[in-house]
Amino acid sequence: MSNRGKVKVLICYRVLQAWRVPVFERLSKMPDVELLVLHGQDYQGTKLINYKGAHSFRAIELNTIKFSVPFKHGAGIPIHTNILSEIYKFSPDVIITEGASNFFSNFASFLYAKIKRKKIVQWGLGEIEGRRKGLLKRVFYYLFGMLEKRSDAAISYSTFGAKYYKRCGLPNESIFVAVNVVDTDARKAQMESHCLKYGLSLPSVDPDFLNVIYVGALAPGKNVEVLIKAYSRLVKEDQQGSGSLLIIGDGPDRRYLESLSEKLEVDDRVTFLGHISGSLAEHFYRSSVMVMPGLGGLAVSDSLSHGVPVICGVGDGCEKDLIDGSNGIIINPFTEDSLFEKLLFLSRNPHERRRLRSGAAGFLKGKHNIESYVNELHEAIFYAVNKPS
């Protein structure tokens, strides 16, 4: 422990992503924690980009050797060449590491923890439902599982993911569920500010027509083309009830998706706004429902934090903790046909849209928010600290 009696907590991440910064800020301000975040360098052309704004917690960018992995949708697993020296300098009591996606740093952290008799905590997805693994990936995860089951605790993004750590052999009391959410306090403040500025009611009123919004990367695996195809069918089937489709985000598939909307003759109703780094309150306020056709659990909590219900498929597991039937719909299997049917139903049944919107408006009063997220991390840290060696 540090001289001030604080527990020295080291977090190892591939990069310092923007959506993790509010979590680290809150954790660093806890009176019994001294925090250091070690992270690698940017993976240009991917979402693995470091946050460029200011933050108050201590962070060190590591020297990084970057290479791709032969896994579908895998950006890469970095080697941080100076990680062991930085760990030794800080001399942490607990190391929280990012799971299989940061394998080499995880392995280095594991070695340090075992040699120095310190504690190590895994933090990750666990497993994604329905995703099959090839032979190479099965071997990789088998080897990595040997580290996981010898860790002191695990933090899962979801209840579903927690089952994976249990199968690894970790006892129930050592598995913590910190459901992956955005900074819910910030979203609430942004929506309140927007409504105050324009004299709007809060919670927001459901639009007269079905206005659909998508927020996320325009990249393989996000299945945005399925959304555009289903929406084009909705326009043809229900000209009166269908409103607009707003797509916020950028990525390598943008040009293809713009061409697809033109080909399907809905480009007059589909708007591509690109990446927006600031508040999305204005755009969510005018939306009836957010559709998440691929992976992206944070977008679910983002939409619900703005009071907008969600339609999604089975993703990273967070959706099952966040969506309860009163604030959104989980479609399984998620196909163009099944999405079209749900959109058509909502366009023709405004009372159902209002019911779901009412449920989404109550999300911020529920148990999943930025505060509960950080508290769960805090509990995992002190469980590991107090666990007998």
pLDDT tens digit string along 272-303? 999 998 899 999 999 999 999 987 678 999 99
Structural domain boundaries in the chain: 7-181+369-386, 184-365
Of 131 and 203, more confident: 203
pLDDT in tens, 51-75: 999 999 999 999 998 776 554 545 5
State how far the Cα of 181 lies from the Cα of 362, in Å rounded to an integer: 15
Question: 213: which 2 tokens?
Answer: 């919004």
The CATH number corresponding to 7-181+369-386 among 3.20.10.10, 3.40.50.2000, 2.30.40.10, 3.40.50.720 equals: 3.40.50.2000
State how far the Cα of 62 lies from the Cα of 80, in Å rounded to an integer: 6
62 φ/ψ angles, rounded to the nearest 5 degrees = -90, 155
Number of helices and strands in the chain (H, E)? 14, 15
Amino acid 95 reads I
- Lowest-confidence range among 111-115, 239-243, 269-273? 239-243
pLDDT in tens, 334-353: 999 999 999 999 999 999 99
CB 77, CB 105: distance < 8 Å = no
Which bin fits 3, alpha (ψ -120 to 50), beta or left (φ > 0)? alpha
Burial pattern 306-329, b for ≥16 Cβ within 10 A else e, equals bbbbbbbbbbbbbbbbbbeeebbb
Residue 237 three-state SS = helix
Of 126 and 210, more confident: 210
Task: For the chain, give the percent of residues with pLDDT over 90.
Answer: 74
CB 253, CB 227: distance < 8 Å = no
pLDDT of residue 4: 65
Helix (H) or strand (E) segment spanning residue 342: helix 336-348
Instruction: Kindly state the DSSP code that residue 75 receives in the 8-state scheme.
Output: -
pLDDT of residue 134: 53
Instruction: Kindly state the DSSP code that residue 30 receives in the 8-state scheme.
Output: S
CB 287, CB 215: distance < 8 Å = no
Given a cut of 80, is residue 133 above it in pLDDT?
no
Q: Which fold has domain 184-365?
A: Rossmann fold (3.40.50)
- Lowest-confidence range among 29-33, 73-77, 123-127, 175-179? 73-77
328 φ/ψ angles, rounded to the nearest 5 degrees = 170, 180
pLDDT of residue 3: 53
Query: Quick check: do 7-181+369-386 and 184-365 share a fold?
Result: yes
DSSP characters over 121-179: EEEE----TT----HHHHHHHHHHHHHHTTSSEEEESSHHHHHHHHHHT--GGGEEE--
CB 125, CB 100: distance < 8 Å = no
> Of 114, 123, 99, which Cα lies nearest the Cα of 175?
123
Helix (H) or strand (E) segment spanning residue 65: strand 64-65
